[in-house]
Structure 1
Amino acid sequence: MLLTACALPPALAPAPSPIEPAPATAAVRTLLAPTGVLRVGVYAGSPLSLLEREDPTRHAGLSHDLGQEMARWLDVPFELARFERLADLMVAMGQGEVDFTVTWKSDIYGNDVNYSLPLLDLEQGYLARPGTRLREAADLNTLAARQGGVKLGVLRGAGAQAPLARRHPQIEIVLLGSYTEATDRLAAGQIEAFAASKSVLFPMADRLGGGARVLDGRWGLETVVIAIPKGRQSAMSYLSRFVLSVRREGYLQAAVRRADLRGAVEPDIR
């Protein structure tokens, strides 16, 4: 596991310590921050992006913390470009209005952005409803075979419906519009479990209480990367040096702890 125990609550964990930067040429600086400012795309509420706190110096999230460090490497100002949704952020990046963000690698945006080497992988798993007796992912199929009528929620448009339907042929896949709806359906016992990234499921379980739990096991992995606009390929080697450095020197691990990002594992590519 990449995420290790932290002696302090995440909200009190210190900011990651800066690491020795690789020198950036003027050409690289112009490619990665063409306006002279590194515009870091974020959407609030996600540990991958931005977690806002009362004291702005304690804001967290991988886009926030890694964006600050990249701006320091480039010796340019750091600026947050805020969006309501990831989809809006990625559209803006495709139009060259955002320079940098941390997200999961997806073919959906492949024509508009370039992706870095992997930062980490996130396990995709299941959150079982309050009062559940389930312990492992395999228990879902066992329950469906025994009693039928088992319902598994998944976000509409997340691309998870088909793989989950293949994995759970006896379970009804229920498409949901938001994480809030998923939480409400779980609390009401209208779905047996909800499938998503464990980075989302663990905080949902904390809020639900009542014995709601993230089941042991996983149904997939998401690769987390840095995205930059298409057309800046000449800066990719510098971006690779940045990724390898933040992983090797512990900066990434500190950012993960501060954001309380759970379900993170070391990527296969090192």
Structure 2
Amino acid sequence: MSVDPSARTLLAPTGVLRASINVGNPILAYSDPATGAAQGVSVDLADALAKRLGVPLELKVLKSAGASVETVTQGEADIGFFAVDPERGAGIAFTAPYVIIEGYYLVRDDSPLTAMEQVDRDSTTVVVGKGSAYDLFLSRTLSRATIVRAPTSPAVVEVFLAEGADVAAGVKQQLEADAARLGGLRLLPGRFMEIRQAMGIPKGRPPEAIAHLRAFVEDMKANGFVAEALRRHQVSGVSVAPAE
């Protein structure tokens, strides 16, 4: 795919592509245990875009979705990787999604809850990662249950157990891994939401900028880059989003 020379100026106006990376979503980005460096599908996409534009890449590695959103909204990064949400859309222009992730509920084995439809009750407390897609979605859709916010998404199950809460909400794979590691926990059947994970830029950038980024995402899906990145990082249970 050839690059319009204007894309470099529009997407990396400082001459460096500054990418906000949220390692609070370990399905798409994580810190390497040996080196501490950020790795994952989001990092691979940022690197591919920088190479396509012919500019250096600067990663701004953050521990939560909320911090990543704030960094891009304030123009401190040129691009970021987010779950599409209307609240975030006030400050971020999104591409179409590149992957689809599922949100699930986790409970203790002895919990009386057996279906996700039972969660929204007056006596139920639900733990989510502060500022995550699950936080934004459940804040809009749960009318009776009480929401408790963990500082980051990877800390949700820890807070859920420490607080004696009823439900933990988050990425299916993260919850499955915590359940296998800790024992005595189970997922409620079925997803409560589908997360459309996309790239985004600050809303104030020219419309041509998001058009270039959207074309990049579509090309990365079509040429197999996203699928290969998922395989390389051994991410299962996540699907490449359809072309748009």
Q: What TM-score range do you get, normalising by the shorter chain?
A: 0.7 to 0.9
Gap regions ≥5 residues in structure 1: 1-21
Look up the equivalent residue of 1:234 and give its one-letter code: E
- Asked if the contact 1:126/1:137 (under 8 Å) is kept, the reply is no
In structure 2, how many angstroms separate the alpha carbons of the residues matched to 1:46 and 1:124?
12
- Name the residue aligned to 2:8: 29
- For the aligned residue pairs, the C-alpha RMSD in angstroms reads 3.3
Residues paired across the two proteins, number: 238
- Asked if the contact 1:118/1:267 (under 8 Å) is kept, the reply is yes
In structure 1, how many angstroms separate the alpha carbons of the residues matched to 2:187 and 2:84?
23
- Asked if the contact 2:31/2:39 (under 8 Å) is kept, the reply is yes
- Name the residue aligned to 2:57: 78
Are residue 212 (structure 1) and residue 185 (structure 2) matched? yes
Q: Would you tell me which structure has more strand in proportion to its own residues?
A: 2
In structure 1, how many angstroms separate the alpha carbons of the residues matched to 2:125 and 2:68?
32
CA gap of 1:32–1:128, structure 2 versus 1, over 3 A, is same
1:266: how far off?
Answer: 4.7
Q: What's the secondary structure of 1:70's corresponding residue?
A: helix
Q: What's the secondary structure of 1:107's corresponding residue?
A: coil
Deviations 1:15-36 (A, max 9, x none): xxxxxxx211221111111111
CA gap of 1:92–1:216, structure 2 versus 1, over 3 A, is same
- Name the residue aligned to 1:126: 105
In structure 2, how many angstroms separate the alpha carbons of the residues matched to 1:237 and 1:180?
33
In structure 1, how many angstroms separate the alpha carbons of the residues matched to 2:101 and 2:154?
21
Kindly indicate whether structure 1 or structure 2 has the higher relative contact order, using CA contacts under 8 Å at least 6 residues apart: 1
- Name the residue aligned to 1:46: 25
Deviations 1:208-227 (A, max 9, x none): 2x142333301111211101
- Name the residue aligned to 1:184: 158
CA gap of 1:94–1:144, structure 2 versus 1, over 3 A, is closer
In structure 2, how many angstroms separate the alpha carbons of the residues matched to 1:100 and 1:238?
12
Gap regions ≥5 residues in structure 2: none
In structure 2, how many angstroms separate the alpha carbons of the residues matched to 1:234 and 1:207?
46
Q: Structure 2-normalised TM-score?
A: 0.79
Deviations 1:33-67 (A, max 9, x none): 11111111123342355312155598522321110
Q: Structure 1-normalised TM-score?
A: 0.72
Deviations 1:94-120 (A, max 9, x none): 332211111111222323221111212
Q: Alignment partner for residue 153 of structure 1, among 123, 127, 145?
A: 127
Are residue 194 (structure 1) and residue 168 (structure 2) matched? yes
- Name the residue aligned to 1:163: 141
CA gap of 1:112–1:176, structure 2 versus 1, over 3 A, is closer
- Asked if the contact 2:226/2:240 (under 8 Å) is kept, the reply is no
More displaced stretch, 250-259 vs 23-32? 250-259
Aligned-pair identity (%): 26
Greater gyration radius: 1
Moved over 6 A (4+): none
- Name the residue aligned to 2:223: 249
Are residue 228 (structure 1) and residue 207 (structure 2) matched? no
Deviations 1:212-243 (A, max 9, x none): 23333011112111011221321333322221
